[in-house]
Amino acid sequence: MRARRQHPRTGAQGATTLACVGLGSNLGHPRRRIAAALRDLARLPRTRILAVSPNYATAPLGTAAPQPDYVNAVALLGTRLRARDLLARLQAIERRHGRRRSAVERNAPRTLDLDLLLFGRLRMATRALELPHPRMHERAFVLRPLADLAPAARIPGRGVARLLRRRVRGQRAVRTRSHPRPP
Ligand code: A4P
Ligand code: MG
């Protein structure tokens, strides 16, 4: 996950940065939703989709009440946007897909969740944006698809995706059917 000429605090840069986005859905046709979200990602300015993982059917993690299984995937982007701008674009896509944030229920079911997992090697911790994503290294629904795409990907401060994957073996994450992807 190499980033060139990247500003250490803002992620501002002249060169393309490799960014990694986690996609998740467990309401309203999750597989179709993921496919539609990928089409939206493909339309982002100054951004290209470089690779998309297979879809995984995954057991909900961190939820108090029972929920439907999730469909999760990971996309690798090349982008010239700044990290904050990319996150704002991801949140706009979530809203277009009818994402409602629950004030009372943490990890509520959702039509679409787009997390910015990695942005080059950028490390930052503000309320609006924490990089790497603070929980990605302990989640099979992120590590399995990420390791499919980039087994040697290094999560700054945490380790290599392929190796971290071994620690989450107990979490159910099974490859499942994918819908057509953007070219
Ligand atoms: N935020 C800070 N850093 C980031 C980042 N790197 N990427 C802020 C995205 N957002 C980031 O996010 C809450 C706040 O985090 C935002 O204001 C944003 O500015 P949110 O998307 O509004 O809420 P959320 O997703 O419900 O909260 P959270 O804590 O981010 O949850 P997670 O970590 O996304 O987990 N189980 C399975 N199997 N599959 C899933 O996809 N997802 C979750 C949600 C729980 N269990 C799951 C899955
Ligand atoms: Mg989220």
Q: Is residue 110 very low, low, confident or very high in pLDDT (cuts 50, 70, 90)? A: confident
User: What are the Cα distances from residue 107, in Å, to 113, 126, 143, 165?
Assistant: 10, 20, 19, 22
Residues flanking ion ligand 2, Cβ below 5 Å? 113, 115
The yes-or-no verdict on residue 111 having pLDDT over 90 is no
Q: Give the Cβ contact number of residue 164 at 10 Å.
A: 22
| For the chain, domain boundaries | 17-175
Q: Where are any strands of DSSP class E within 42-160?
A: 47-52, 55-58, 70-79, 113-119, 124-125, 130-131, 154-155, 159-160
**Tens-digit pLDDT profile for residues 67-106:** 999 999 999 999 999 999 999 999 999 999 987 766 767 7
Q: What is the CATH number of domain 17-175?
A: 3.30.70.560
What are 117-174's pLDDT values in tens digits?
A: 999 999 999 999 999 999 999 999 999 999 999 999 999 999 999 999 999 999 999 9
Ligand 1 close to Cβ of residue 131 (< 6 A): yes
- Active-site annotation holds for 110: yes
> Residue 57 Cα, ligand 1 centroid: separation in angstroms?
18
| Range with the poorest average pLDDT among 3-12, 19-28, 86-95 | 3-12
- How many Å apart are CA 161 and CA 144, to the nearest integer? 8
Ligand having the closest approach to the CA of 87: 1
1 or 35: whose pLDDT is higher? 35
Centroid of ligand 2 to alpha carbon of 4 (angstroms) = 27
